[in-house]
Amino acid sequence: MTTVDLGGLRVSRQGLGCMGMSEWYGPADWDESVRTIHRALELGVTFLDTANVYGDGHNEVLVGRAVAGRRDEVQLATKFGIDRTGGDDRRTVRGDRGYVKRSCESSLLRLGVEAVDLYYLHRPPQNAEIEETVGAMAELVAEGKVRHLGLSEVDEGLLRRACAVHPITALQSEYSLWTRDPEVLAPVMRELGVGLVPYSPLGRGFLTGTVDTATLGGGDFRVRNPRFAGDANAAIADAVRQVAARLGATPAQVALVWVHGQAARLGIPVVPIPGTKRVRWLEENVAALDVHLDDDAYAVLDPLGEQVVGARY
């Protein structure tokens, strides 16, 4: 596993998204999740992504326990901002200074560490200007509790305003064969020295061709996701499957290596964080780095983003 300079923070070329280990993607399995994190470290996947909101803190505790005694081996990224205390139907995004500071203290306690390597604002705040929020995050850097700052799902205006307060290391946004939104920000990200951390690079599993919505449990949010309804996007998964069959790879590997390959086209560091709670899928994802896409593959894959039916949420 090689490493990448992500806006000043050196991380493994591929990371691990840990959200599904706690909720949203079916039942949680603590022991299997810990085994997956340990196997990730063995394979050189040291960039771990979590958030205070995943499982209402459960995920940070899990990640913290899994890396206990191995802090020097990992780059820990967590997030704050989404407030679910009023219920998921009344969630808000907070960015007021006091909330930012308290959220960080709580995350450090759950993770069992003295500092996090990358601290993200999870979504644009609804109750504060971005300057107040990033200003509070900058205070955390000065206090030694946070090493680098990140944002998630922001537009160019907010990114520029945030960078005027403190350097931003990374922007985490959904990015995959069927979600191309972050590409419009590539020029400003190059200008400001910001790297891209794509979440859901496998299209929430859809691009792997292994997800059957008819068998998903009620706790899996994809049951209600517009893009998973019916067969509207079946042709996209079929196209990925056909490319994979020709190359002797899996659909997941093809979808993932396509995301990796966009770093050269966009001119910015790109470090995807495919999420999984199972060792077998982790190993498959890491093996994607050995897959090579030829011109014929790109000719099939590049246009898929224009064929998507349904909103992201």
Exposure b/e, 158-172, CB count within 10 A at least 16 = b: bbeebbebbbbbbbb
- Give the mean pLDDT per block of 10 residues along the chain (313 residues): 96 97 86 98 98 96 98 98 88 96 98 98 97 98 98 98 98 95 97 97 87 65 71 87 98 98 97 96 97 97 86 70
Taking each helix axis as running N to C, give the angle between helix 234-247 and helix 251-266, from 0 to 180 degrees, rounded to the nearest 10. Answer: 90
- Residue 311 maps to a domain: no
Tokens of 121: 């604002």
Segments forming the whole domain that contains residue 116: 3-306
Domain assignment present for residue 150? The answer is: yes
Give me the pLDDT at residue 55, please: 94
How many helices (H) does the chain have, and how many strands (E)?
A: 10, 11
Q: What integer pLDDT is reported at residue 227 of this predicted model?
A: 81
In a domain, 67, yes or no: yes
Domain contains 37: yes
| 312, part of any domain | no
Strand runs labelled E in the chain: 3-6, 9-12, 15-17, 47-49, 75-80, 82-83, 92-93, 116-121, 146-152, 170-174, 195-199
- Which amino acid does the sequence have at 44? G
Please state, as a whole number, how many other Cβ atoms lie within 10 Å of the Cβ of residue 108: 20
With contact defined as beta carbons under 8 Å apart, do 269 and 192 qualify? no
pLDDT digits (tens, 9 = 90+) for 172-227: 999 999 999 999 999 999 999 999 999 999 998 889 877 766 666 656 666 677 78
Q: From 270, 267, 286, 289, select the one nearest 278 (Cα to Cα).
A: 286
Per-residue model confidence as pLDDT tens digits over 281-308? 999 999 999 999 999 999 999 999 888 8
Sign of the torsion formed by the C-alpha atoms of 108, 112, 114 and 117: negative
Q: Which of 285, 290, 291, 288 is nearest to 36 (CA)?
A: 285
Query: Which residue among the candidates 25, 54, 119, 120 is catalytic per the annotation?
Result: 54
The total domain count for the chain is: 1
As a whole number of angstroms, the distance between CA 20 and CA 275 comes to: 7
Residue 203 gets the label, from left (phi > 0), alpha (psi -120 to 50) or beta, of: left
Looking only at the bridges linking them, the beta strands covering 9-12 and 3-6 are: antiparallel
Assess whether 199 carries a catalytic annotation. no
117: tokens are 């390597």
Name the token pair of 147: 């090493």
Pairing of strands 15-17, 47-49: parallel
Beta partners for residue 270, in sequence order: 196
* Structure-block tokens of residue 184: 């419009």
In a domain, 54, yes or no: yes
Q: Looking at residue 214, what is its pLDDT? A: 60
Structural domain includes residue 313: no
What CATH code is carried by the domain that includes residue 155? 3.20.20.100
Residues 6 or more apart whose Cβ sits within 8 Å of residue 165 = 130, 131, 134, 135, 138
Assess if residue 267 is contained within a domain.
Answer: yes
Token pair of 224 as six digits = 């209600």
Inter-residue contact 49 to 18 (CB < 8 Å): yes
Residue 99 CA: distances (Å) to CA of 60, 77, 89: 18, 18, 21
DSSP E strands in 111-145: the ranges are 116-121
